[in-house]
Structure formats: structure tokens, C-alpha cells
Structure 1
Amino acid sequence: MSDSGFIGEVAAVGVAGQALIDADSDVEAVAQWLAEYGESPQTQRAYRREAERLLLWLDAEGRRLGEVDRQCLARFEAFLADPVPRAQWVGPTKPRHDPAWRPMRGPLSPASRRQSLVILQGMFSWLVEAGWVAHNPFRLMRDKSRRLNNQAPRVERYLEQPLWEWFWRWLHRPLPSDSSRACFERARQRIIFAFAYLLAPRISEMAGAQMGDFHRREGRWWWQVVGKGGKLAHVPVPDDFLVYLAQWRKTLGLAPLPEHEESTPLLRALDGKRAIGDNQLYRLIRKSFKDAARALEEQEGETAYVAALQSATPHWLRHTAITHQAQAGVSLRYLAESARHSRLETTSRYLHTEAQQWHDEQQRHRLSQAPSLDGL
């Protein structure tokens, strides 16, 4: 891959039809679509990744966006499942300007392929409205309702309650060393996971959190956050979080609870002062999950739980937090408020109670002579 950047990677192409946007190439048209998400940096980065993959693949195919048809989409989806030649498309994480950079880390899972197509479907809808392409090829897909419906299936990427409880105990294991650095890193690790589990933030919201975002109003503590789409929200802070916040602040040499408008970072680098960015926070969380997976494997823990920890990403924490709140009986209305979902349908994906009740009811249907599992 060239290191000339996204714009330089794909050749300029002509406009299909009467464009309503000021663009001279597919790349410029897509850049204008991405600019619509400027107030949601995380969303913008995710959408940029999917659009970039498509544009680079089309460039290799010698096609333009306006030439994408149903058969082309089928080939692209097959490519996402098996990106060949691998040397051209697959590689480890590198800076975008590095010659060794590749657009993919490996084949995409069915869920990731589906998400990619959902994003690109929206991109094509915008490009049709902008007059850049004449049609949206996704509308020709017969199985569109199965794969491209924005109503995603029930959330499954979360840590089940027993696994989370084991993981939380693991975070409180004895320190291998009583050095100041080891104590700092353990305290930071605990506040990261307490924050993620108790308040269900997105990773950008965690990295950007300030001490003063936690404030008391009429005797109760709230977390003020500007989330996805630039929406301001105030989320109730559980008392358990205040315990770990106080412990973290003690590690930093601060008073137990934040002062009014205390404009310093919540999560900090090893110097105890500088903030940490999204990428560093992502790596810290992933490392914790992988370390925990190795520890559980050494304890000969359940194989499925070891695999879950090995696969877990920071966003699993948000899923875990919302799912466990639902299982604890938090009502759908308040669950949606805490998760800051714009639609209740999104929150309902985290409700597993019906499935559990269905499973319990199904146990009424029995075989008269069936032995018990305990006896096998």
C-alpha cells in the first residue's frame, strides 16, 4: 500500500449525473458524507474505515461508486470474509502513513460484515440524495431485510454475570509488587473498569472525562457527559463508583471527591497528570482482558469464558453494563436514559429476561424416563 494517504490512494473519478455537492472524485464525495458526522468523532472514524475499504477495493477492481451493482456488492462481501491476496489487504495495526499499513486486520466476522454493509447502505443513500450516484445498489438485495435492517439482533457480546464477577475479583488480586508504579497501575485499572461497568460510557467518553464532570446536585452525584451526536446528558452516579473514585483520587494525592468544575483528566498517564487518549485506553483494556484470559486458563476455567475474555473489546464493557442493569431490574425507560439511546428499540436489544423466562417455561416439557445430567 502507498503511504500517500486516503485521498491519494484512490484515483479521481467523474461525477455520475447532476451532483448537488462540490466534489470532483468519489473520495471527495465520500469525504463530504463523512463530514456530516463531525460532531461524533468515534462514529466518523468507524464510517471512514468502512468507506475506505470499499473505495480501495473498488480501485483495485477498476470501478467507481456509480458502477457498483448487486453482483459487485456480493463480491465485496465475499472479500470482507476472505480478503485476498492477504499480503495486499491484511496486516498488523500501523499508523496510516506507514508503508506497512493495511486496511484490514483479518477476515471480518458475519456480524462485522453486516455492520459494514449497514454503514455503506447509509452512505449510498446519502450519495443518491446528493446526486453523486444514480441508484443505491443495496435496494436490489433480496435478503436485505435479514442483513441490513438497522434493528440489530440481540446483543451477545458481553460478559455473563459469573464471568464478570470472576473478572472483578481478579482485578482485586494481590499485587505482585508494592512499587509505586504497580499501585498506580492497579488503581487506574480498577477505576477504568468501575467507570465502564457502572456508567456504561463509550471509550471516547471515558478518555475525555474530567474530574469536574462528576458533580453533586441536591445531595446526589451525577455524571455530565457530551455523548454521541453532541448530546448533553446527566447520568446518576452509583455509590459504588464514588468508592473507587475516592480510592483513585487518593492515589493521585487528591481529596476523596471532585471539587466544583475541577478541570483535570479523570484517567491519567503514569505521570499522574496527563490525560490518556482513546487508543491508549483501548490498549489498556484489551491488555487487561487478555491477561485475565491467561489467568483463567491457568485456573482451568470454563473454555467459553476464556474465549470470551480473549475476544472482548472495550465496547463489550458497555454491552455488559447495560445488560447487567437490565438483568438487575432497571426499567427500560431509565435504562435507555442511562445508555443515552435515542430509541427504545436499541435498548431492548439488551433485554435477555424474556429468553430466560422462555427457557424456564420450556423445562415443563419433559421425557418421563430421562436421567438427570448429574447422573451422567
Structure 2
Amino acid sequence: MFSPSIGVENDFLWGRQFLSRHTRFPGTYNSYRAIIERLLLWSWISESKSVLTLNRSDFGRFCSFCEQPPESWIGGGRPARFVNTNSGRVQNDSWRPFDASGQAGSDNYKPFTGTIRQVQSISSSFFNFLHANDAAAVNPVVMSRSKNGRADKRHQPSRHLLTPEQISTVIDVLERLAVIDATLERPLFIVAATVYMCLHGTDLASTDSYCPTMSCFVMEEDNWWFIIDRPGSSPHKLSVPSHFLPYLKRYRISRGLLPLPGRNEGEPLLHSNRGRLGLCERHIREVVSDALKQVHSDISEREGNCADWNMLLSSNMRFLKDSGAKMAALTHSPSELQRNLRSESLAYTYGRYYADS
């Protein structure tokens, strides 16, 4: 029995409420449940305290615990947590929080690559949830993340993305070129939307049955939002950062429109240089590719043959989006970035954009 002072039942209810938000995909739910179970059990059994009171040092010990749990916490295979008996549904004594299938005991147990990153990201999401509901005062993961749980990356290829300084240079060059050639306002707008809002080409593209308009940008409660509501897909409402608005304004002015959209404005978001309304995804990719080649040419002419910029010659919108997301990770929490990216997995978001920061 646990001491009543721990508040086990309260912790359990918060954990169940958090997990109820992640039931859409069974694989995601199972990953979240496994880690929240370990966190709760470790807090109650090893620390004799409520998970709501864990601090940075506590969470650091939890990460170390997950890297090499005691043998009594490790089982083989995946037995059910509960079994049905003549007396009803009871706990399965064979179940353990950690699965060491193919591993011989705790001396040889090794977490799979990325497991500790996943522990950090899911735990951080849990504590953000608790903090948002005034159940926990702090997120103990944030300060301990840089010291604990780095997965072994020796065999993982490094991903070369644009640095924040390089992103600024690309945008600055396009701004300068657009002053000379107004047709470059369109690629400047697309590149800025890709980098600063992490949009996909499909978010801006037209199809036979759908053409995004300027009314996708809406002002609500003193904030700008970008609404994506394509037929056959769930709608998404993305926050528009203030540093993107200048590019929306100058693009609209270049088209003879007012600086900011009005409600229900039917003007297509993009159009071709010949005035055709809407651009397909392939055309958008070509516009971005051509613009980045112009940026590379401009930088090469001014700075000489600079190998650091050759990546622009083969870059695409995914590369720009990932570079923008990596930059956003410097100022956004993993859960915030996950929402902006519309990613189903917080663990993937953390592993891709935070773990090697």
C-alpha cells in the first residue's frame, strides 16, 4: 500500500486524463501509456512522492532509471497487464513495465535507440498538460533535457539544414531581388510561409475542387490565423507569427491589394505570372526551386564560390520547412511545435528538431 500523502489516486486520474487525449492512433497511445506508467510507478515506488511534485533532479534520476532499470522491473515478452480469473479481473504477476525480449536480465538491458528521447518528449508533453491545468507548478523535463537521455547518434547521419543566420540571408536576398523584379514577391511570400509557418506545398496549392484564397488568413482575438480546410481532410488552424506578416503585406501590395486581407476575401492566395488563378503543387515547388537557385547565384557573385550555399541548388520545400522547424524549436516547446507541424507524434517532433540541438 502507498502512503495516502503521495496522492496516488490523484496522479492516476491526471495520467488517465492525459492519455485520453492520445487514443486516436493505437501505436501512439501504447507508447504514451508505457512511458506514463513507468513515470507514475517510479515516482510512487522509488521516490515515494506524487508525480506532480517532481523536480529537475528527480526527472534526471528517472531518465537514468529508464536507461538501466532494476531486474525486478524487467520482463520478457509482452504479457497482459491483467488476467481474468474465477474471482474476477486481477493483476498479472508476470507483467513488468520494461520489456527485455531477447535481452538477458538487467545487466544487459539496453533501451532501443531513441527510447530516452521518447521518454523526455512524452514526459514533457505530460507535464505541459499538468501545468496548463494548474496541477503542476513546473515542467521538470525542460531543464534536464540537455543533460539526460541523448540517444547514441554515432551511426545516425547528420542532417544539414539551414541555420537561423542562413535563413535570414536567404530571405534578405529575396527581399532585395524582389525590389528589382516584382515577380519575385511571390516566391518570397512562399518561402517565408514555408520557413516561418512550416507550411507544406499542398497547403498553398490548388486542385480541381479547391483553391485557397486570401480569406484563409483571419483575424481573431487580436491574432492572425491561417485556416487550412481542404476537402476530405480535417481543418487546421495555425497561428501566424508576427514576423511573417510583413511578407504577406508586401506580397498583397505587389498584387494591388490592401496590405492585410478582409474577412471572406475571395482573391486566390496564389496566381501565375500570367494571371491564371491558383497554382498546383508542382508549380509551387518549381517556383521555390528557381528562387533558391537565384539566391545561390546572387550569393556566389557577391561572395565567390561558397560551398556552404551549394545545398540551395538541390533544396526543396521540405528542406525549407525542416529548417524553419529547427529554428522554431529554439523558442517553442515540443508540444507547440508539434501542433504547428500537425504531427501526430510528439516523440518524432522532439527527436527530429530538438534532440541534437
TM-aligned CA deviation for residue 272 of structure 1:
4.0
Structure 1 partner of 2:339: 337
TM-aligned CA deviation for residue 330 of structure 1:
0.5
Contact 1:293/1:309, CA 8 A, preserved across alignment: yes
TM-aligned CA deviation for residue 155 of structure 1:
7.6
Structure 2 partner of 1:124: none
Q: Which whole-Å CA distance do the structure 2 matches of 1:227 and 1:306 have between them?
A: 35
Describe the SS at the equivalent of 2:271. coil
Structure 1 partner of 2:291: 288
Tell me: CA distance 1:228–1:313, structure 2 relative to 1, closer, same or farther (3 Å): farther
TM-aligned CA deviation for residue 199 of structure 1:
0.8
Alignment of 1:318 with 2:321, yes or no, is: yes
Letter in 1 for 2:197: L
Describe the SS at the equivalent of 1:230. coil
Deviation per CA, 1:226-283, whole angstroms, max 9, x where unpaired? 4798232111111222222121111212122212222332121114451111111111
Q: Which whole-Å CA distance do the structure 2 matches of 1:275 and 1:288 have between them?
A: 19
Quick one: which of 343, 348, 354 aligns to 2:350? 348
Describe the SS at the equivalent of 1:337. helix
Contact 1:155/1:350, CA 8 A, preserved across alignment: no
Tell me: CA distance 1:301–1:315, structure 2 relative to 1, closer, same or farther (3 Å): farther
Alignment of 1:188 with 2:159, yes or no, is: no
Identity of aligned residues (%): 22
Q: Which whole-Å CA distance do the structure 2 matches of 1:257 and 1:155 have between them?
A: 40
Alignment of 1:236 with 2:234, yes or no, is: no
TM-aligned CA deviation for residue 333 of structure 1:
0.8
Tell me: CA distance 1:286–1:164, structure 2 relative to 1, closer, same or farther (3 Å): same
Deviation per CA, 1:36-78, whole angstroms, max 9, x where unpaired? xxxxxxxxxxxxxxxxxxxxxxxxxxxxxxxxxxxxxxxxxxx
Alignment of 1:205 with 2:203, yes or no, is: yes
Q: Which whole-Å CA distance do the structure 2 matches of 1:163 and 1:301 have between them?
A: 16
In the alignment of these two chains, the number of paired residues is 201
* Structure possessing the higher radius of gyration over alpha carbons: 2
Letter in 1 for 2:343: H
TM-aligned CA deviation for residue 336 of structure 1:
0.3
Deviation per CA, 1:111-134, whole angstroms, max 9, x where unpaired? xxxxxxxxxxxxxxxxxxxxxxxx
TM-aligned CA deviation for residue 285 of structure 1:
0.6
Describe the SS at the equivalent of 1:171. helix
Letter in 1 for 2:186: R
Query: Please, what TM-score do these two structures have when normalized by structure 1?
Result: 0.48
Deviation per CA, 1:171-197, whole angstroms, max 9, x where unpaired? 1225685xxxx31x1221221112111
Q: Which whole-Å CA distance do the structure 2 matches of 1:303 and 1:270 have between them?
A: 31
Letter in 1 for 2:254: T
Tell me: CA distance 1:246–1:300, structure 2 relative to 1, closer, same or farther (3 Å): closer
Contact 1:265/1:273, CA 8 A, preserved across alignment: no
Q: Which whole-Å CA distance do the structure 1 matches of 2:304 and 2:232 have between them?
A: 41
Letter in 1 for 2:349: T
Describe the SS at the equivalent of 1:224. strand
Q: Give the gaps of 5 or more residues in structure 1.
A: 1-144, 357-376
Contact 2:171/2:192, CA 8 A, preserved across alignment: no
Q: Which whole-Å CA distance do the structure 1 matches of 2:205 and 2:329 have between them?
A: 25
1:253-292 matched pairs, under 5 angstroms: 253-272=256-275, 274-292=277-295
Describe the SS at the equivalent of 2:228. strand
TM-aligned CA deviation for residue 326 of structure 1:
0.2
Structure 2 partner of 1:158: 161
Describe the SS at the equivalent of 2:219. strand
Q: Which whole-Å CA distance do the structure 2 matches of 1:301 and 1:330 have between them?
A: 36
Q: Which whole-Å CA distance do the structure 2 matches of 1:297 and 1:207 have between them?
A: 31
Contact 2:177/2:184, CA 8 A, preserved across alignment: no
TM-aligned CA deviation for residue 301 of structure 1:
5.6
1:98-109 matched pairs, under 5 angstroms: none
Deviation per CA, 1:7-62, whole angstroms, max 9, x where unpaired? xxxxxxxxxxxxxxxxxxxxxxxxxxxxxxxxxxxxxxxxxxxxxxxxxxxxxxxx
Letter in 1 for 2:314: S
Q: Give the gaps of 5 or more residues in structure 2.
A: 1-111, 119-152, 207-211
Structure 1 partner of 2:75: none
Q: Which whole-Å CA distance do the structure 1 matches of 2:178 and 2:201 have between them?
A: 26
TM-aligned CA deviation for residue 307 of structure 1:
2.0
Structure 1 partner of 2:51: none
Q: Which whole-Å CA distance do the structure 1 matches of 2:245 and 2:179 have between them?
A: 26
Deviation per CA, 1:304-351, whole angstroms, max 9, x where unpaired? 422211121111111011111002x20111100001001102211333
Query: Please, what TM-score do these two structures have when normalized by structure 2?
Result: 0.51
**How large is the RMSD of aligned CA atoms in angstroms?**
2.9
